[in-house]
Every structure is written in structure tokens, then in C-alpha cells.
Chain A
Amino acid sequence: MEYRLRTPLTEEDVRKLNVGDVVYLDGIVYTGRDEVHIHALEGLKEGRTPPVDFNGSVLFHCGPVMQKNERGEWEVVAAGPTTSSRMNSLEPEFIEKFHVRAIIGKGGMSQPTVDAMKEYGAVYLSLTGGAAALAARGLKKVRGVEWFEFGMPEAIWIIEAENFGPLLVGIDAKGNSIYSEVERSVEKKAFEIKREMGID
């Protein structure tokens, strides 16, 4: 199935999606990777809320290349997904506390995140890694930037997306993950291959 969704996303929007579905997004997406996860969660413990409202949001695991144009406005130069597994240990809590509805990334995430997505209603959308010039076409306007002091890749960029995709549902809100399926089948296959090679 193919869907076109507008942010902020509702629980209903994401609960209906299945792994293998294709999604195109319109509306605001926030970038956030290692430092955003660390500081948003640390801040919460000390009673501080992050500078953007993640409720119903789309969190893009991305450290973009941005450039200021002649009018002094930021523009997206290249913005593909980063390796999501770096955020494995922090993502379940991030989903629980901030009610993120979709995460865009590459490479998939581990079981605790799959479980959190099922429990709180969120999905993982895969974008082709390294295809950053193509991705930039769906990211029309930079609305702002927060936490720029962490550096260009680690800041929260507030970006307006239009027909952003195709995004493949890699983990749905029903406990299914393409990545776990592939891992299981690779493990089985590796056993056979090693036996054939005489190295098991």
C-alpha cells in the first residue's frame, strides 16, 4: 500500500501501516541524532523540555549539510539518513517520553525499539542511505534550527517536507521488522554457506 501523510501524525495514522508499505510525507520533520537524544532525555530528568514539541512528530535521524543563501536563510544541500542503530539504547525512552510517531533512518533498530513502537504507536521509515541529494528534493524549506551549538550534524533542524519519499515502512507498530526478518534468514543462510565452504 502507498500512503501520503501530513504531520503531525496521529496514532491512527501510524497504526494502520504495515512493513513494506510506502509513505510520502508532507509537513514538518525534525532532525535529531546522538546529541539530541542524549540532551533531550538528560534535560527531561532535570525538568527541562526540549526546544521543539516532538508530540506526534517525525524524527529524522539525519545530520544534514546546510548552507546559507544570499538572503542569509538556511537551505538543505544534502540530507540523507544516518545509521539509526547508534540511537538503539535511547530510542525506546525517547518514543515513550516524547510521543514521536515516526522515525526516518537507515539500517533499522533493535528489538527494544520495535517493542516501544508497538506499545506507544510509532513506525520506522527507511530512506535509502547515502541518497542525500535525492532526499533534499523533498525537503523544501528550513523553518529553523535549535541546539546549533552541538554543531551542524547534531542540531535539531526544523524542515518543511513536501511529498518526501518514498519511505519504506521497515518497522510497523504491530511488532514487525523487516530487519529482524532479514537477520533471522541471514543467520540460517550463513550456517549453510559456511558448511559448504568447509569452515563451520
Chain B
Amino acid sequence: MDMKIIEETVFRLLADASTGVPPDVKKALTEAYENADSDMAKMNLKAILENIDIAMGERRPLCQDTGVHIFFVRGNLKLLDSISDFEETIKSALERATKEVPLRPNAVHPITRKNPGNNIGVGLPHINYIPTDDPWLEITVFPKGAGSENMSFMSMLTPSQGLKGIKNFVLDCVIRSGGKPCTPTVVGVGIGGTSDIAMHIAKESLLRPIGDRHPDEQIAELEDELLKAINQLGIGPMGMGGSPTALDVHVEYAYCHTASLPVAVNTQCWTGRRATARISDSGEVKYLDLWRRD
């Protein structure tokens, strides 16, 4: 696969994800504004909608926190001649986007806090690979801001705490977060797996479009029940009261050890930033709005 095409595609995905919101997010925010139940909520949602129009019109970042960069690469990895060339290409597109979009240089050393200025360092950008037999490669850019990421929680519940314990934990996380993750948010919940898997699937669930429901009926019901409960809390946009507090709740699960019940909560701010492109084996690029569930 031509690395030139990959570089151009990743650059555009970084620009798209940082300067605009996906259509499902825009629709949900517009509905939230129309149904807002307080002056504070209405004022904040109005600013959010105006901001989206300015950012998209001027190709300017929606938020000054353009995040750290997480990638999901799904498809036939055999289309790539070299994984190390591919990763270097992603880094060079990110370095260019940092200068040209521009993005804020966010990546720093965790202890010295030194900032290299290009969003690149040990472990960042983070690239997840999901190998499939499809005749294409899908690249998703998922910029994650700190406001929402700082409100991440995980707990190793005991199996006896069960579904009640899960619901309690999720609600308590949302209450503790208040308006800090830039509400109205999408709340991602990962149930089961091991500690790291629970957080990983919670994060991955945030890529699903707003309104999407899990194919497992019991999980879909849990998503609805949690969304309803969260929106009755009255935290509201920016934590200033009213509703909505969340645009959606997405739950994913994985089997876990018989003695464990891991639960993780990972939240996405109102921007719902993500962008995906599919590159076919012949090098044709198609920009997709939505994350596809297998």
C-alpha cells in the first residue's frame, strides 16, 4: 500500500476529527439544545452549536485541547508491506497536522513534563490493530482530550455485587465527574475481561455512533436504563444544572474470570471527536462517518 496515500489520509483524518463533529453528534447536540430545560443549559448548548459552525467553517480546532492521539487500524494488515514504515507514516502525518491544522502539542514526558512539541513520544500516538480478512484497511483517528480522560474510573467489583454493583458504580462515576468532562458526554462502560480489557472496551465503545445499541438485548437495555438515570441527575451541560448530562451510554462486555467482575468507565466530551477512512487494496480512499461494528 502506498505510504503517500496513507500519509495524506491520516493527515486529513486528524484535521477532520479536530475541526468538526460527526453528523450523529451534531444531531444529538441540536436536539439537546431544542429540549434544554434551563437557561444555563440553553446558553451552554448554544455556545457549543455556534462553536461547531465556526470551527467547521474556518477549519479551526473545535477545542484548544486537541487531545492525545489514539488510532484504530482495522482490516487486512497484509496490505501493509511494513508495520514500522506504516507507524512512521502515521507519526509524520501527526507531526505535520500539529504544525498545519494546527494541533496543540499535548504529549509530554510523564515525570519531567518536557514537551517535545510534536505530539510524539514514548507510547504516543497509540495504535491499536484489529486484523480482519476484509479487502481494505480502515484507519480511525480518535483524539482524546484530558478533561474527559481525567474522569476515567475502573473498579474490580466482586461477582456478588453483580449488575446492581455495576449500575451503582457507573452512576457514582458520573456524579463524581460532574461537569468536568465537558457534559453532555458519551459515557463508555466496559464490563468484564481483565482490568486493562475493561478499560479498553469502554474506550472503544465511544467510537460507536450516538443512538447505536448493543446487539445483545440485555446490554442494550442496560444502556437505555443508565442513560435515563444519568439524565435525571441534573448535572447538565458544563455541570451547571439541568439536562442533558449525557448524549448516550455505550456498554461493551467481555467474559471474565469466575472470581472477578471488572468495570471501567471512560468518557468522551460533547465533541465526540472521531474520523474514519477506508483504503481499499487498490488505494482508493473513502471517508466514513461511522464506526462499524463487526
Q: Which A residues fall within an 8 A CB radius of B?
A: 20, 35, 62-65, 67, 77-80, 82-83, 85-86, 106-108, 126, 128-137, 150-154, 166, 168, 170, 178-179, 181-183, 185-187, 189-190, 193-194, 197-199
Contacts and interface: CB of A to CB of B under 8 A. Distances in A.
Given A132-B64, A166-B43, A197 B105 contact: no
Nearest to B164: A199
A67 B102 contact: yes
B61 A182 contact: no
A190 B172 CA distance: 9
30 contacts: A65-B104, A79-B64, A80-B64, A83-B147, A83-B180, A86-B150, A108-B178, A128-B43, A128-B47, A129-B182, A130-B62, A130-B65, A130-B270, A131-B48, A132-B65, A134-B51, A151-B105, A151-B113, A151-B117, A153-B105, A168-B43, A178-B40, A178-B240, A178-B241, A179-B178, A182-B234, A186-B234, A186-B235, A189-B233, A194-B171
Nearest to B245: A186
A114 B83 CA distance: 53
Interface of B: 40, 43-44, 47-48, 50-51, 54-55, 58, 60-66, 102-106, 108, 113, 115, 117, 145-147, 150, 164, 167-168, 171, 175, 178-180, 182, 225, 229, 232-241, 269-271
B240 A133 contact: no
Contacts of A151: 105, 108, 113, 115, 117
Given A128-B44, A190-B175, A82 B147 contact: yes
A197 B164 CA distance: 9
A134 B47 contact: yes
A65 B103 contact: yes
> Which DSSP category, helix, strand, loop or mixed, fits chain B's interface?
loop
Contact of B62 (A67, A132, A152): A132
B144 to A, nearest CB: 13
Contacts of A20: 40
Contacts of A194: 168, 171
Contacts of A178: 40, 240-241
Contact of A182 (B50, B103, B171, B235): B235
B225 A197 contact: yes
A119 to B, nearest CB: 24
A193 B61 contact: no
Contacts of A135: 51
> Which DSSP category, helix, strand, loop or mixed, fits chain A's interface?
mixed
A108 B239 contact: yes
A77 B66 CA distance: 12
Given A106-B238, A150-B113, A185-B241, 7 more contacts: A35-B113, A131-B47, A131-B63, A132-B55, A132-B64, A133-B58, A179-B239
Nearest to A107: B180
A62 B147 CA distance: 12
Given A186-B234, A189-B234, A197-B229, A168 B40 contact: yes
Contacts of A108: 178-179, 239
A150 B117 CA distance: 11
B46 to A, nearest CB: 9
For the complex of A and B, the 9 pairs showing the least CB-CB separation, nearest first, are A151-B115, A131-B51, A128-B47, A129-B182, A133-B55, A134-B51, A132-B64, A133-B54, A78-B61
A182 B63 contact: no
Nearest to A127: B47
A134 B50 contact: yes
B63 A130 contact: yes
A106 B167 contact: no
A46 B204 CA distance: 47
A193 B150 CA distance: 26
Nearest to A134: B51
A133 B19 CA distance: 9
Nearest to B271: A130
Given A82-B65, A133-B51, A151-B117, A186 B164 contact: no
B176 to A, nearest CB: 10
B66 A128 contact: no
A53 B55 CA distance: 33
